[in-house]
Amino acid sequence: MNCEACRNRITGEELLRCIKCMTHYHYMCLNITQSYYKANLGELRRSCICPLCINVTRRKGNNCNTPVRKQLENRDESSMSCEDLTISENTVEISRPVMNTVENTPTTIRNEVSDQIAKLKSEFTVTTDFLAEEQRDVKAELKTLSDKVRKLEDENVLLQSELSQMNETLQVLDKSSRNCNIEIQSVPEKRSENLLYVLMKLCEVINCPFAESDIKSIRRVAKMKPSSDRPRNIIATLHSEHHRDTIISAVRRFNKANKLCPLNSSHMGLAGEKYNIYISEHLSAECKAVHAAARQWTKINHYKFVWIKYGRVYVRKNEESLAILIRDTSYLSKLSSNNPV
């Protein structure tokens, strides 16, 4: 509990309670000395009346502000200090520390708020400086990366150009390496077959005699589709393009003269099922794809002719129209849009 006068906490050894209003006081706040308090503790606790209650009960004459005193039987032994303090003066003395505290509170709060704001400003400044530095670093790194990307894009364009040139060069070299070759398709395979004899027999059938010395090499090649039932193709390398063209022309003449029975396995004396035999230029995989697409396209668009010459694919609408060179499959789409069916 707290003292009604000074508002401080009261211990049991300092407590006095008013018998009128039951409020609690330090004995020192009632102007009682320690020695007197200890000597008359029992009497004080039975008859103690606080200054406020004394002021209320004494409303006679002119002594309403009489100094606070306790009337004791043994007045000579009393050592109470009775200063001339009125109730109003006592109240002012008690409330002065409280008033000072209240008056100083706004200043204290203002100072505390100012200190906190200054601290926040300092922390905010440090944070913004750090973020600004990070932003500068990010911008610098972004610029570096942008420069690298731009450089890589330029290099990519250059490499694409070089790659395109290399592809063209490889195509030329590949075509050049095939210039003296012929490709023979659908010749039935036999164990321990003599491919040189097969070619010589074909030349004999189409009436195009060839010496063995005109043939540099001959072999079968792997299938493009291993699951296919067709026999492997035969590739023969001749000494010159002239030899190649001579054989191909002889085959065309033979087939033209024998439209009902073009060149096939029976002409070579091979027993079993009859297979048509085809002899053409040795084409690259890309050229074969263009040729296959062109054959399909001519059927859809009612073109009569499609052929290959010197590794290039041509189509023709009819006998009176001009030949059209098909460079790649995309050119067929352009041709379709220009000549709708």
Within a domain: 93: no
DSSP 276: B
pLDDT in tens, 289-329: 999 999 999 999 889 999 988 888 999 999 888 999 998 88
- Mean pLDDT, residues 211-232 taken together: 90
Mean pLDDT for 82-90 is 52
Ranges 135-139, 152-156, 226-230: which has the least confidence = 226-230
The predicted pLDDT at position 152 comes to 96
CATH number at residue 340: 3.30.250
Question: Is residue 198 exposed (0-12), middle (13-18) or buried (19+ Cβ within 10 Å)?
Answer: buried
| 201 shares its domain with 289 | no
What is the pTM for the complete model shown? 0.52
pLDDT value, residue 59: 52
197 lies in the same domain as 271:
yes
Final residue belonging to a domain, choices 176, 209, 240: 176
| Residue that terminates a domain, selected from 282, 302, 318 | 282
Q: Is the dihedral of CA 195, 200, 202, 203 positive or negative?
A: positive
Beta carbons of 187 and 231 less than 8 angstroms apart: yes
Q: Are residues 306 and 257 in the same domain?
A: no
Q: How many domains does the chain have?
A: 4
Q: DSSP of 281-295, one letter per residue? A: E---HHHHHHHHHHH
Whether residue 121 is contained in a domain is answered as yes
In this structure, the answer to whether residues 153 and 201 fall within a common structural domain is: no
**Residue 91 falls within a domain, yes or no?**
no
**One domain for residues 204 and 277:** yes
Q: How far is CA 280 from CA 92, 134, 310, 329, 337, in A?
A: 129, 70, 10, 21, 31
User: How confident is the model at residue 255, as a pLDDT?
Assistant: 94
Domain boundary among 264, 282, 300: 282
Choice among 148-157, 262-271, 329-338 with the minimum mean pLDDT: 329-338
What distance in Å separates the CA atoms of residue 325 and residue 306, rounded to the nearest whole number? 10
Q: Which residue has the tokens 């589709």?
A: 225
Indicate whether 63 and 140 sit together in one domain.
Answer: no
Kindly state whether residues 266 and 184 are assigned to the same domain: yes
Nearest to 265 by CA among 255, 279, 278, 275: 275
The pLDDT-based confidence of 90 (bands split at 50, 70, 90) is low
Are 215 and 236 in contact by the 8 Å Cβ rule? The answer is: yes
Write the pLDDT tens digit of every residue in 171-188: 888 888 888 999 999 999
| CATH code of 202's domain | 3.30.70.1820
Q: At what angle do helices 195-205 and 241-257 cross, to 10 degrees?
A: 50
**Please, which pLDDT band fits residue 68 given cuts at 50, 70 and 90?**
very low
Q: What is the largest CA-CA distance in the chain?
A: 169
Q: What is the domain range of residue 239?
A: 179-282
Q: Which of 40-44, 72-76, 147-151, 214-218 has the weakest average pLDDT?
A: 72-76
What pLDDT, on the 0 to 100 scale, is given for residue 73?
A: 43
Structure tokens given for 62: 């002119």
Specify if 1 maps to a domain.
Answer: no
- pLDDT band, very low/low/confident/very high, at 86 (cuts 50, 70, 90): low
